[in-house]
Amino acid sequence: MRSTLRARVRLAGAGLALAVLAACAAPTAQTAPPPSGSAAPISSSSTAPTGPTVTVPQLSDTPASSPAPSSPESSTSAPATTEPAPATSEPVDATDNPADDATPTAPAPSTAAPAPAPAGQTTARPAPSGGKTVVIDPGHNGANGANPDIINQQVDAGFGQTKNCNTTGTSTNDGYTEHAFNWGVAQALRDELEAAGVTVVMTRDSDTGVGPCVNQRANIGNQAGADAVISLHGDGADASGRGFYVLTAERAPGSAETAGRSATLAADVRDGLVSAGLSTSNYLGSDGLWQRSDLAGLNLSLQPTVLIEFGNMRNSADAALMSSAAGQQQYASGVAKGVLAFLG
């Protein structure tokens, strides 16, 4: 009896062992790995945008506190200022800053430009009959002086050259800043051109931001396919000099035809300013015209482009005119007349 019971226990144990072994040997279901070379689907939001993008410095909500009036992109050397901004100042000309003004990415010119426009870009108005587009580039910006880490970055200035992203610009002896003057003329010019049915794109939409960099300003005009690009500046030369001059690129960045169109635009703008009662420079250029080879805004533009130094902010007579609303309107009307003549 006991031997029979022991045999049954042994048989039961053997059966249990076989069941356990069978369970361990059974294959487990596993998810097949993705085929080699396949990639996870990309969401539409991460798809690279078509067309070139414009990278511009982030705009500051806080205007610069007494930005150091360094001279603009252009050439003349301006007297040292007592402003706090550590930004590098340029020779007196406001020229380079226009096209040579980067940091955060933001949209580029609105309506008129086919590519994303810089942050805060003014909305372009409906395209007029004829579809003419003009880019207005008020040099510098109000918060440049408070952001030297942005504006002192080196950017492409064309033909193997580099330049500061932007500068603070110059000022009158009384402290009226160039960036404020440029902004005042830009608004008046925009209004006159839009009243004539021209679509206007501005490279900045306020006087309290930073940049954009000079190379990106040129890119805004290129992306917009502008019929004309007008860069606005004020000079800061020796107090004896006065009057305006219109700059074009010494070396043609685009085709010979575009270079010729820039020369025609410069002559038309010069004539418009003279007809508005303004005098050509007595210290730089010839008959109100001059060429430069070191200005990013001119070197990188593939559209008809000019840079205007409206007057010497260190000269008392020029400074008085440039600091007044009436003077800024006079400058704007002269430029508008020249631009409209150029557009035909």
List, in order, residues 6 or more apart from 34 with CB less than 8 Å away: none
Q: Kindly provide the residue ranges of all beta strands, DSSP E only, lying in 159-292, ordered along the sequence.
A: 161-164, 199-202, 228-235, 245-249, 289-292
Catalytic residues: 309
Q: Which of 335, 328, 339, 336 is nearest to 184 (CA)?
A: 328
Q: Which residues pair with 309 in a beta bridge?
A: 233, 245
Question: Tokens for 69?
Answer: 């009036």
Q: Cβ of 69: how many Cβ atoms within 10 Å?
A: 32
C-alpha 269/C-alpha 100 separation (Å) is: 22
C-alpha 232/C-alpha 304 separation (Å) is: 15
Helix ranges restricted to H, 75-125: 96-99
Phi (first) and psi of residue 280, to 5 degrees: -75, 160
Work out the angle between the directed axes of helices 325-343 and 178-195 (0-180°, nearest 10). 50
Q: Are 235 and 171 in contact (CB under 8 A)?
A: no
Helix ranges restricted to H, 31-174: 96-99, 148-151
